[in-house]
Amino acid sequence: MKYTKLPNTDLEVSKICLGSMTWGQQNTEAEGHEQIEYSLDHGVNFIDTAEMYSVPAKPETQGSSEKIIGSWLKKTGRREEVVLASKVAGPAEMVSHIRPDLGFHKKAIEEAIHNSLERLQTDYIDLYQLHWPERNTNFFGQLGYEHEHDEEWKDNFREILENLKHFVLQGKIRYIGLSNETPFGLMRFLEESKNDLPRVVTVQNPYNLLNRKDEIGLTEICLREKVGLLPYSPLGMGTLTGKHLNGIQKNSRLDLFPQYKRYSNKEAVEATRKYKELADRHGLSLTHLALAFVNQQPFVSSNIIGATSMDQLRENIDSIDVKLSEEILKEIDEIHNSIPNPAP
């Protein structure tokens, strides 16, 4: 395994982070525990979760991923060996079951942190992330920003950081991060943190061979301002394994939950086919090509993988030993330039 420190922190994390959003629906508690054990045995020390998980979000499974991590922590007593990240949900209809007053005001954050700590059976969370912005912005399938002039949101970046500072001082969270955030949001949080407020250390966004939109603006900020990118969906919900090239595979995530189809459009399939041909020419699996590409990016602090089977988990973790040559990286860029960002 390879390791790095999250920028401006004392947290040393593995370059591979274990995602948990399938635990509680596609994976049982026993399977979640098995994944944690295997990952730690192979050098992974970073686990990511969220109060809304498992996914898709449902009232009956909300918090299930945190509970599975918590039962493992209680059973093993290995809390100090793990860097634990979780998230508080912003306002969205899909998670309206979590609490009636969703958002990042102090009462909502207090309730969210209290409940997460209880489910995780720990006294603190190492990295606490805002799952998506309160304001209207563009993510999931939309590249261009469309401004809504009747938006009710008012600038509250400083207020949110003041709310989070309260829980940092209490020792319930150590560092803060963002998720599904834009360059505007990241820069506003960084600017407001100069007022003796907690500084954002990471941004967790989708990033993969089919979605490199953050290279347009966000990754420059990450590099210049020393903020770590934590890519999620590095395999495009399994698309970049190549298993869906001849149609959606039965009982796969995309088959069980067809609403997650943004990696299945015509252009994304064509790009995936080209990346598969590239991987084949160089004697690599498409999975390793896709993950190694993310692992090698200088703005990436840790690559969040997710697996529903142990075979998938093993291959994903093994990607840390794959180094792509300059020749392969050049060929990747040629494909990207011909079919740029087909699945933003």
Helix (H, G, I), strand (E, B) or coil at 128: strand
CB-based contacts of 186: which residues, under 8 Å, 6+ apart? 178, 200, 203, 218, 221, 225, 227
Beta pairing class for 12-14 and 3-5: antiparallel
Element (H, E) at 299: none
Measured between alpha carbons, how far is 180 from 138 in angstroms, rounded to an integer?
9
CB-based contacts of 270: which residues, under 8 Å, 6+ apart? 339, 342
Helix (H, G, I), strand (E, B) or coil at 313: helix
Tokens matching residue 324: 């792509």
Marked catalytic residue, from 3, 38, 53, 232 = 53
Measured between alpha carbons, how far is 195 from 296 in angstroms, rounded to an integer?
34
Q: Report H helices in the chain.
A: 29-41, 64-76, 106-120, 157-169, 183-192, 218-225, 253-256, 266-281, 286-295, 310-318, 326-338
Nearest Cα residue to 205 out of 270, 271, 294, 285: 294
Nearest Cα residue to 215 out of 200, 231, 199: 231
CB-based contacts of 18: which residues, under 8 Å, 6+ apart? 35, 36, 39, 44, 46, 47, 48, 304, 305
Active site residue 53: yes
Residues acting as catalytic residues: 53
